[in-house]
Amino acid sequence: MRIITGTARGRKLKEPRGNAIRPSMDMVKEALFNVIQFDIAGRRVLDLFAGTGQLGIEALSRGAASCDFVDNSKAACQLVRDNLKSSTLDGGRVFQSDAASFLARAERYDLVFFDPPYDLQDLDQIVSKIVQFDILNQNGIMVCETKVETTLPDVPAPYQKGREYRYGKVKITLYIKESAE
């Protein structure tokens, strides 16, 4: 697992032991960043269900202003801290919290990575909470990684479910918060 491009390009990231954390495959990560490449620089990012932190760290390497990393697991939070340190990138904060509790007190973000465990039962509730707590800024983007067969909910305006991209057994779904103008 490595940082694809940006100021920390080529740096290796620590990988998790065991199967408790499922990092995004490099092919999927590269495709995802090709889709949002012009929506990263200077943005505030949230890496929800951070795992290794690789999505948020990639965003920081590509010029994101800051990234908050959230994971319920103490081991995952330590892994994110280790990966931030080895990448030598600034602007990362790590929070050990379940997603719902963090979202209830979250700030606003321009870009949210939502890469939960594939067997998470309350995906719809988490997406609904993101909309309910309105954590995206105008024209903000939420990028969701799930199994291909997972159906994510439609959301009320000004949020909008956008395109879906399939990469083997993985699906990337975009949500966008449209501008009020």
Q: What is the phi/psi pair of residue 58, to 5°? A: -60, -40
pLDDT digits (tens, 9 = 90+) for 106-123: 999 999 999 888 777 788
How crowded is the C-beta side of 30, counted as CA atoms within 13 Å?
10
Whether 152 and 8 have beta carbons less than 8 Å apart is answered as no
pLDDT at 132: 92
pLDDT at 160: 95
- CATH of residue 83's domain is 3.40.50.150
Q: Is residue 4 part of a domain?
A: no
Q: Is residue 39 part of a domain?
A: yes
Q: Which residues contact 44 (CB under 8 A, 6 or more apart)?
A: 64, 65, 66, 67, 107, 108, 109, 110, 111, 137
Q: Is residue 138 part of a domain?
A: yes
Q: Is residue 76 part of a domain?
A: yes
pLDDT at 92: 96
Q: Is residue 12 part of a domain?
A: no
pLDDT at 30: 87
Amino acid at 93: R
pLDDT digits (tens, 9 = 90+) for 75-99: 999 999 999 999 999 999 999 999 9
Other CB atoms within 10 A of residue 41 CB: 12
Q: Is residue 57 part of a domain?
A: yes
Output the tens digit of pLDDT for each of the chain's 181 residues: 889 899 999 899 888 775 555 555 677 888 899 999 999 999 999 999 999 999 999 999 999 999 999 999 999 999 999 999 999 999 999 999 999 999 999 999 999 999 888 777 788 888 999 999 999 999 999 999 999 999 899 999 999 999 999 988 889 999 999 986 6
* Polymer length of the chain: 181
What is the β-pairing status of strands 170-177 and 136-147?
antiparallel
Q: What interhelical angle do 54-61 and 26-36 show, nearest 10?
A: 50
Q: Which domain holds residue 50?
A: 26-177
For the stretch 61-93, what's the b/e string if a residue is b when 16 or more beta carbons lie within 10 angstroms of its beta carbon? bbebebbbbbbbbeebbebbeebbeebebeebe
Query: How many domains, in total, are found in the chain?
Result: 1
